[in-house]
Amino acid sequence: MLASTLFSLPPLPYPENALEPVISANTLSFHHGKHHKTYIETLNKLIKGTDYESSSLESIITETAGKADKMQVFNNAAQSWNHTFFWNSLKRGGGKPTGIIAQKLDADFGGYANFKKELANACVTQFGSGWGWLVAAGGKLKVVKTGNADVPFVKGQTPLLTIDVWEHAYYLDYQNRRADYVEAVIDKLLNWSFAEENLANA
């Protein structure tokens, strides 16, 4: 049986080894090539022949959020979206932000060090699977965490960056040490120009 081609797996925005040593090529290969791909293929099967076939991913997510009978569609649509957003939230090099984002982190968190502590804490304390996020909401930057597939834009918050804290994101490289994975990602991989673009469109 041919897989549906409604949505397709976007290529990674960098080679699989680009995020080493923080995230190995092996992890990225499984995470993108198996996990992300499966969310998209499952979504395609679920929406084939329904009204969602002609919808954007964002509208499917918004329309199915919080509806018990649409939970499977929501979970697979949101995970498809979250992973593409996550790949773009990372880049080789990372480091501290400059410019408008740095100014806003100073204003809204009292500096980069406090922001970093807050994001790491959200990622580590998310019980079970989920995501840590930097979002813009009500003119301010905020750190939030979501469980499983949940995504902040259904609550009117604009995502700027995310970190996947599902075990599949780090287990091959860090085993149970989620805190070490999160700290390395924040220090070395965050793509602040992507955050700046998202802020400009907020």
Nearer to Mn ion, 164 or 196 (CB): 164
Question: Which of helix, strand or coil describes residue 117?
Answer: helix
Q: Which residue has the tokens 């003119």?
A: 139
Nearer to Mn ion, 82 or 198 (CB): 82
Rounded Cα gap, residues 192 and 96, in angstroms: 8
Q: Does 173 bind Mn ion (CB under 5 A)?
A: no
Number of residues in contact with Mn ion under rule CB under 5 A: 3
Q: What's the closest the beta carbon of residue 185 comes to Mn ion, in angstroms?
A: 13
Nearer to Mn ion, 61 or 101 (CB): 61
Nearer to Mn ion, 140 or 168 (CB): 168
Q: Does 41 bind Mn ion (CB under 5 A)?
A: no
Rounded Cα gap, residues 135 and 152, in angstroms: 8
Binding segment toward Mn ion, per CB under 5 A, in 58-66, 92-100, 124-132, 161-169: 161-169
Rounded Cα gap, residues 177 and 170, in angstroms: 8
Nearer to Mn ion, 78 or 141 (CB): 78
Q: Does 164 bind Mn ion (CB under 5 A)?
A: yes
Q: Where are the alpha helices (DSSP H) in the chain?
A: 25-30, 37-47, 57-64, 71-89, 99-109, 112-125, 171-174, 178-188, 192-200
Binding segment toward Mn ion, per CB under 5 A, in 118-126, 137-145, 152-160, 164-172: 164-172
Binding mask 121-160 for Mn ion (x = CB under 5 A): ----------------------------------------
Rounded Cα gap, residues 100 and 42, in angstroms: 39
Q: Does 166 bind Mn ion (CB under 5 A)?
A: yes
Q: What's the closest the beta carbon of residue 103 comes to Mn ion, in angstroms?
A: 31
Q: What's the closest the beta carbon of residue 120 comes to Mn ion, in angstroms?
A: 18
The residue with its CB nearest to Mn ion is 164
**CB count, 10 Å around CB of 169?**
25
For 178-202, b where at least 16 C-beta lie within 10 A, e where not — what string?
beebbbbbbebbbbbebbbebbeee
Rounded Cα gap, residues 3 and 116, in angstroms: 41
Q: What's the closest the beta carbon of residue 83 comes to Mn ion, in angstroms?
A: 6
Amino acid at 35: H
Residues near Mn ion, by CB under 5 A:
164, 166, 169
